[in-house]
Amino acid sequence: MQFPMNKFLSVHLLWLMVLFAPVQAQAQKEKVDQDTAFVLPADTVLPGQKKPFTDAQRLEGDNKRFLMRAVIPSAALVGAGILTIQERGFISSFDTRNARNRHFPNFSTEADDFIMIAPLVGLYGFNIISSQNRHEMGRQTLLLGLSGALASAIIWPVKGITDIERPNGEPHAFPSGHTAYAFTIATFMDKEFRHKSPWVSVASYGIAGATGVLRVLNNAHWMADVLAGAGVGIISVNTVYWVHAKLTHGGGLKRTSFVPAVFPGGARGMAVTVAF
């Protein structure tokens, strides 16, 4: 299947494309048993792991878990974002903008453009030095890429539909793309390495939260945009993991790859191959 993307969307997926370079080489080396062994038995303890996997952790396709850990938190964040859009209310994005202008009127940094990808250094570092991965590297990259693509598919159409002006006067504020991608990466790290140490999750979500705060301090987004962006990131990763578990439970998908591609005419996009 091929999904052409316009130039605008492909720019926002550039950070994902960089990750896909090693995937094809590794995918060729995978064995069938490695492809289907993503479900770990209950009470499994990997070397250095503090606690065993629970039934809920190993079965990502559980509907109740998906509702409680993904749908409800994401809906709450997006709902809070929508409620704070108005100029007056119990909590308003205008209040945070005014506070920013009073206390940090000249604040400016470019750190929010790159700190959100810092957890990925840990991701591939853990893959090199640790055997405690939920999935092997190729499948990790696939899941991360699909999560980023789903987040993009939500963010950019909504930005165009809502067409809310940013605090700095620029267009397309709601929701925050930076924050959505930051929480996509943080949620992914939580999925893959929470069993290794809860501090991996704390650090990843801390970085994601800092990204959202910096977007507000930079006067690039309203608080509403950041809250909604966080919800988009969380639901995107959890949805991909939920669908993945549904499709692969019992070995449903044997070979799957997801890579950037250049189509005839120079159009850029993503190519997905699936073998059942």
pLDDT of 20-79, one tens digit each?
434 433 443 343 334 433 444 544 554 445 555 555 555 566 788 888 888 999 999 999
The predicted pLDDT at position 175 comes to 96
Exposure of 47 by Cβ count < 10 A (0-12 exposed, 13-18 middle, 19+ buried)?
A: exposed
> Cβ of 42: how many Cβ atoms within 10 Å?
13
Residue 61 lies in a domain: no
Q: What is the CATH number of the domain that holds 106?
A: 1.20.144
pLDDT at 109 over 80: yes
The predicted pLDDT at position 24 comes to 38
Which residue range is the domain that position 212 belongs to? 72-252
Exposure of 259 by Cβ count < 10 A (0-12 exposed, 13-18 middle, 19+ buried)?
A: middle
Give pLDDT tens digits for 150-191.
999 999 999 999 999 999 999 999 999 999 999 999 999 988
Strand partners, 271: 2, 259
Residue 108 lies in a domain: yes
pLDDT band at 124 (very low <50, low <70, confident <90, very high): confident
Tally of structural domains, the chain? 1
Residue 264 lies in a domain: no
pLDDT band at 270 (very low <50, low <70, confident <90, very high): low
Residue 62 lies in a domain: no
Residue 224 lies in a domain: yes
Residue 23 lies in a domain: no
Q: What's the rounded mean pLDDT across residues 207-231?
A: 95
Residue 147 lies in a domain: yes
pLDDT band at 119 (very low <50, low <70, confident <90, very high): confident
Does the pTM surpass 0.95? The reply is no
pLDDT at 206 over 50: yes
The predicted pLDDT at position 82 comes to 93
- Closest alpha carbon to 226 in 166, 136, 138: 166
Residue 181 lies in a domain: yes
Kindly state the tokens that stand for 274: 């699936």
pLDDT at 133 over 70: no
Give pLDDT tens digits for 192-201.
888 777 888 8
Could you tell me which residues come within 8 angstroms of residue 121 by beta carbon, excluding any fewer than 6 positions away? none
